A and B are shown apart, each in its own frame.
Chain A
Amino acid sequence: MLTQEIKEAIEGHIKYFGSKEEALLLSLHSIQEYLGHIPEEALEELSEILDIPLHHIKGVVAFYEMFDTGEKAKHRIYVCNSIVCYLLKSHKVFNAVKELLGIEPGQVTRDGMFKLVEVQCLGACSEAPVFMVDNDTYRYESKEKLHEILAKYS
């Protein structure tokens, strides 16, 4: 399940911290980045590499909301629905994504390209309504602009 590339990334994290426990969160980030989600088999392998019991790792994965054990998706669209974005009409972002991609929060497009995730504050409130695609933060301006942005992620 874990490719050579991912294993090298995990070894890199262990070396960076000099601690397997401290490397856990970054390792999970790497798995999700490379695989598009965090499958259970990957956790079993990770448990062996890090020498951390599987139940502990599963508990950690379940706790942090960015770690996704659900359906695989190449890109994640995080739409903020916290107070400031809500006041500045975050529903427009949800509607636009639904119109363009046909997905509601929690769903993945049929081709596995995008998953829509509803989140709390993304910390860019002056730009509200705000959304992120993978690692990039954007202000929502219009459906056309959103379409343009999403086209960059193929």
Chain B
Amino acid sequence: MRLRTWTTILVIVVAAAAVVAGAVPPLTVDLASAWFSEQPCDFLTGGGWILPPAGNSNGAKANFAIGGGCKHGSTPGPPPIPYWGHLNYLDHGTSIKPVTAPTPFHVHWTSIDAYVFVCNGINTDGFNCTGPSTDPKTGQPVGTREVCGTATTNDPMHPTVHFRVRVADNGEPGTSDFYWMHLSDPNTNMVFYDTNCTFLGSSTPCGSGGTGGPGGGNIQLHKPNPSTTGVMVTFCPYP
């Protein structure tokens, strides 16, 4: 009996140490939260410009500043606890902006509602995903994230919108970083503005085997800090 007791104690101590060290995830699993990423939440910052697609931008740039991440228990809920971040976007072109919007078309965030881990590996559900990897030049993580939220615009037909911004930090000097933004009508859930996935400083699509553009800004992932309690999710609540 004594040997069994010591064995039990040893198992308790080793298991607890493994959980504390992060070697294994906690055993408590809530099926309702299955869309939560197992990756620890982190931060994303960046800015730059792209040339919106459709071949009609005439060199007119769309400038952006973006930030995202968790802070103090961020979760989509219930109840929702806001995420950290910001989005500002100004499109000086006319190729994809709503016809009712003035030029430049303005988008300014009002809330950050989700921060999404996007798996660059085989598993697209965010679980057991390869990575994150690190940029040897900065020691910072690299990868793809989405920042989702609510914004106001200067388009009278779309004064309030949902945004979904997918950005990637693919290392320095940022020529392989990309930006992709959807704006949708919160009433109809229909996407009415789509930049397509575009390498920074260009109109070059980031798909089709493209490896980068000339560069026009930088996206930077940052490792978690003690305030990043909360959860990254595996998909954006907005289209």
Q: Are A and B part of the same complex? A: no
